[in-house]
Chains A and B, each alone.
Chain A
Amino acid sequence: MPSISVLLHRLWHYLREICGENDYARCCAQASARGEEPPTPETFYLAELRRKYSNPTRCC
């Protein structure tokens, strides 16, 4: 059975993942794999919001 610290670490990772906090690092990794310049954190964040809120994102 995993220890409490492992469980807390997993929960923290889950929360970061669900909030999209790891997305920027992933984007940078993909950009560097393609040999492209990664966007700044601010540019990336704004582009993500534009993409996310152009469709129904919240239900009744």
Chain B
Amino acid sequence: MSIGKRLVWILLALAGALAMGVIATSRGEPINAVWLIVAAGCLYALGYRFYSRFIAYRILELNDRRATPAERLEDGRDFVLTNKWVVFGHHFAAIAGPGPLIGPILAAQFGYLPGTLWIVIGGVLGGAVQDFVTLFCSLRRNGKSLGQMAKDEISELGGYAALFGVLFIIIIVIAVVALVVVNALKSSPWGVFTIAATIPIALLMGIYLRNIRPGRVLEASLLGFLLVMGAVIGGRAVAASALLAPYFTYGAPALAWMIIAYGFAASVLPVWLLLAPRDYLSTFVKLGTILLLALGILAAHPQMLLPPLTRFTDGTGPIFAGKIFPFCFITIACGAISGFHSLIASGTTPKLLRKESQARLVGYGGMLMESFVAVMAMVAASVLPPGVYFAVNSPAGVVGVAPEKAAATISAWGFPVTAQQMTQLARQIGEQTLFNRTGGAPSLAVGMAHIFSRVLGSGALEAIWYHFAIMFEALFILTLLDAGTRAGRFLLQDLLGHFWKPLGRTSWYPSAVLSSALIVGAWGYFLYQGVIDPLGGINSLWPLFGISNQLLATIALSVCTTILLKMGKARWSWVTLAPLAWLVAVTMTASVEKIGHPDPRIGFLAHARLLSGRIATQSIPAAQVVETQRLIFNDRLDAALTAVFAALVLVIVIESARHCWLYALRRKEPSLHEAPAELSRISA
């Protein structure tokens, strides 16, 4: 490296260290959001340049003379030699879901510091490593899936653990993101109208793409985008109309039923009619809005009003209960490390790469980009006055239903806010109320609207920006719901096919309907449970989602570590072993606390005991006994599910460790299941 280049990297390191220092040591007065962007940008650049290069060439020994699966098996369908930036775009669009936007918003209850540090450091040393090494492992195995690699490289038991892990995470993730949408749309005729309008728009796009101009995705997406923007703007008139508004005003349970019915319909309808066009539309809107948010933050360079640390580091947070360790690390999964990414990194992506070295850009670089999205979400949450942030996100079960009482409770925590201030804000953004909107989406939308309207210099547009942001979030959450239900349906059909062959045929309509109903029923149950939960649902469902996501990351990192050992890279195995050890500690601690913690707001069983006691002492009105018994059952079910997740983590880690131990003692010969190496015919 030349002296000039070295100097640039040294300056970058110093700038990163300075920005990190400012973030970590500032107390008492707000800092500018640009410090966060600089710190994250510098650490990502250093991580990519040095750490990913070290992993790529010292450990994995990426070899561009070795033909990739896309070259050896090219068939024009699954295996296609593709430009690296196109693969990067596909991969990033696939991994960037609502998680990196919502997780940081929820974790901001601890203040911006813990979440930001976890996002940046966890992303560079954990998440990006997981994605990169998983992609590499799959690349050397003809693009095999994570489950298949777990089965081949660890054991059959490991393979089954991966399969069940995937199924569970799909169910929980859909339930929790659907709950986020429900909480964002309840009592919001403008929001409901906009999101409802995306369904006929997607159907129209589907017909256009199939029958009018087959495969013309750009044209159809542009048409769809214009119509959706029309719906966002037109939503104001609908919300203001005494005639129309009641048709689009619903409470949370009704919205939950609508989403369940929609999920079922999307799963059984032909993919071209609803799922695919919605996916195209949401991908463009998602990428465009993320870019817009990044530019908005740079242009507005807002002050961060949220303190670096809040009083809720003691575990008494209103949004979810529990201390920073382990709950910050499971609340922010996507954005720092997300097991779900390993499914994408071992799915389509490895079948498209032209050269092995491109796995570094796509796997490691793609995750850094996602991590940056999470930092922007943290900024969007932190620019809100803390009182407003907590008023929007605190559930009614904690702060009360009446606005005055909620505002007084939040002010008593040291975050001043008034009912009038919240009413004014709600009016400004075209909503009836902003209290008790737990879930992250509304506060992200308020933060984004604040940033966008500040850049464009007009508060008059704040309502449009708010509903644009809600549309953006709901659109790709519903796409995840569609795509996840469908993928879950295929997985379930695969399992059911072992019991009765026709059930495994994805094209057999009765089987499609049955498996769709089972998957939708499973996530619908958890969604409804979240909706009726007096603590807002997020308190119980988001940790379950975090634990299940980190379970999948544990499986991926166990597979990667085992493969590194088999490759004779034991001395470098800490690269995946360190994040694995951290995740096992986080997941197991969170699981134990969620099951058995004596605080009813943390432990599921303690909460069930509390409610049982209330029934026994007749301190609950007779009319609410049945509902309370249902809550008790739900608590026990959540505890059982958490125990299953923890057991799956232990199974995969013990299986992996056992095999590694046998290799170390030379009692078992390590056998890599790599595809045979072939010389590439493509020049670099």
CB contacts under 8 Å to A, within B156-187, are 166, 169-170, 173, 177
Chain A 18-60 near chain B by CB (<8 Å), digits 1 or 0: 1111011011001000000000111011111111111111111
Q: Within 8 Å of chain A (Cβ to Cβ): is B128? A: no
B541 CB within 8 Å of chain A: no
Tell me whether B215 and A20 are in contact (CB under 8 A): yes
Query: Provided the pairs A20-B217, A30-B76 are in contact, do residues A54 and B506 lie with their beta carbons within 8 angstroms?
Result: yes
Check A58 against B97 for contact (C-beta < 8 Å): yes
**CB contacts between A and B, total, < 8 Å:** 119
A57-B94, A59-B95, A60-B334 known; A21-B218 Cβ under 8 A? yes
| Residues on A with beta carbons closer than 8 Å to the beta carbon of B83 | 17
The CB with the most chain B CB atoms within 10 A, among A44, A48, A50, A59, is that of A59
B80 contacts across to A, CB distance below 8 A? 23, 26
A43–chain B nearest beta-carbon distance, Å:
9
Given known contacts A16-B218, A18-B89, A58 and B209 CB-to-CB distance under 8 angstroms: no
Which residue from chain A places its CB closest to the CB of B103 in the assembled complex? A60
Instruction: Select which of B177, B272, B275 is within 8 A of A60 by beta carbon.
Output: B177
B503 within 8 A of A: no
CB distance from A15 to the nearest CB of B (A): 6
What is the chain A residue whose CB lies nearest that of B75?
Answer: A30
Partner of B343, one of A15, A54, A56: A56
Among B259-304, those with CB < 8 Å from A are 271-272, 275-276, 279-280
The answer to whether B215 and A41 have CB atoms under 8 Å apart is yes
Which residue of chain B lies nearest to A53 when distances are taken between CB atoms in the complex? B271
Main secondary structure of the interface of A (DSSP, over half): helix
User: How far, in angstroms, from A51 to B79 measured CA to CA in the complex?
Assistant: 12
Is there contact, CB below 8 Å, between B484 and A45? no
Distance to closest chain A CB from B398 (angstroms) = 25
Q: Are B218 and A53 in contact (CB under 8 A)?
A: no
Contact B271 A49 (CB under 8 A): yes
Question: Do A54 and B490 touch (CB < 8 A)?
Answer: yes
Q: Are B78 and A58 in contact (CB under 8 A)?
A: no
A27 to B77, CA, bound (A): 8
* Set A15, A23, A49, A59: member contacting B94, Cβ < 8 A: A59
Q: Are A53 and B483 in contact (CB under 8 A)?
A: yes
Bound Cα distance from A44 to B78, whole angstroms: 13
Q: Does B253 contact A (CB under 8 A)?
A: no
Residues of B60-80 at the interface with A, using a CB-CB cut-off of 8 Å, are 76-78, 80
CA distance in complex: A53, B455 (Å): 39
- Please indicate the chain A residues that have their CB under 8 angstroms from the CB of B271 in the complex: 49-50, 53
What 1/0 mask marks residues of chain B from 548 to 589 whose CB sits below 8 Å from any chain A CB?
010000000000000000000000000000000000000000
Q: Is B436 an interface residue (CB 8 A)?
A: no
Which of B169, B215, B479 meets A21, CB within 8 Å?
B215
1/0 per position for B75-103, CB-CB distance to A under 8 A? 01110101101100110001111110000
Asked if B480 is at the interface (CB within 8 A of a chain A CB), the reply is yes
A41 to B213: give the CA distance in the assembly, Å. Answer: 9
* Complex alpha-carbon distance, A22 and B82, angstroms: 11
Interface mask (B521-563 → A, CB under 8 Å = 1, otherwise 0): 0000000000000000000000001000100000000000000
Enumerate chain A residues within 8 angstroms of B211, measured Cβ to Cβ. Answer: 42
Would A45 and B210 count as touching, CB distance under 8 A?
yes
Does B216 lie at the interface of the complex (its beta carbon under 8 Å from any beta carbon of A)? yes
Q: Which residues of A contact B215 (CB under 8 A)?
A: 20-21, 23-24, 41, 44-45, 48
Of B214, B276, B344, B506, which contacts A59 at CB under 8 A?
Answer: B344
Q: Which of B85, B484, B490 lies in contact with A14, CB distance below 8 A?
A: B85
A19-B94 CB under 8 A given contacts A58-B479, A60-B480: no
Of B214, B215, B338, B479, most A-chain CB atoms within 10 Å: B215
Whether, in the assembled complex, B194 has its beta carbon less than 8 Å from a beta carbon of chain A, the answer is no
Is B341 an interface position by the 8 A CB rule? yes
Is B486 part of the binding interface, using a Cβ–Cβ cutoff of 8 Å? yes
A18-B89, A30-B76 given as contacts; is B280 within 8 A of A59 (CB)? Answer: no
A18 to B85, CA, bound (A): 9
Please pick, from B97, B275, B341, the residue contacting A53 in the complex, using a CB distance under 8 A: B275
Separation in Å of the B596 CB from the closest CB of chain A? Answer: 27
CA distance A1 to B412 in the complex (A): 60
B343 touches A59 (CB 8 A): yes
Name 18 A/B residue pairs within 8 A (Cβ), A-sorted. Answer: A14-B85, A18-B89, A19-B221, A44-B214, A45-B210, A45-B214, A45-B272, A48-B77, A52-B276, A55-B343, A56-B484, A58-B483, A58-B484, A59-B96, A59-B343, A59-B344, A60-B173, A60-B338
CB-CB nearest 7 A-B residue pairs: A41-B214, A19-B217, A60-B99, A58-B483, A56-B487, A60-B173, A45-B215
Interface residue ranges, A against B (CB under 8 Å): 14-21, 23-24, 26-27, 30, 40-42, 44-60
- Chain B residues within 8 Å of A, Cβ to Cβ: 76-78, 80, 82-83, 85-86, 89-90, 94-99, 145, 166, 169-170, 173, 177, 209-211, 214-218, 221, 271-272, 275-276, 279-280, 333-334, 338, 340-341, 343-344, 347-348, 476, 479-480, 483-484, 486-487, 490, 506, 545, 549
Beyond A14-B85, A57-B347, A59-B340, list 13 extra A-B contacts (CB 8 Å). A17-B83, A18-B86, A19-B218, A27-B76, A42-B210, A45-B272, A46-B210, A56-B484, A58-B94, A59-B99, A59-B341, A60-B177, A60-B333
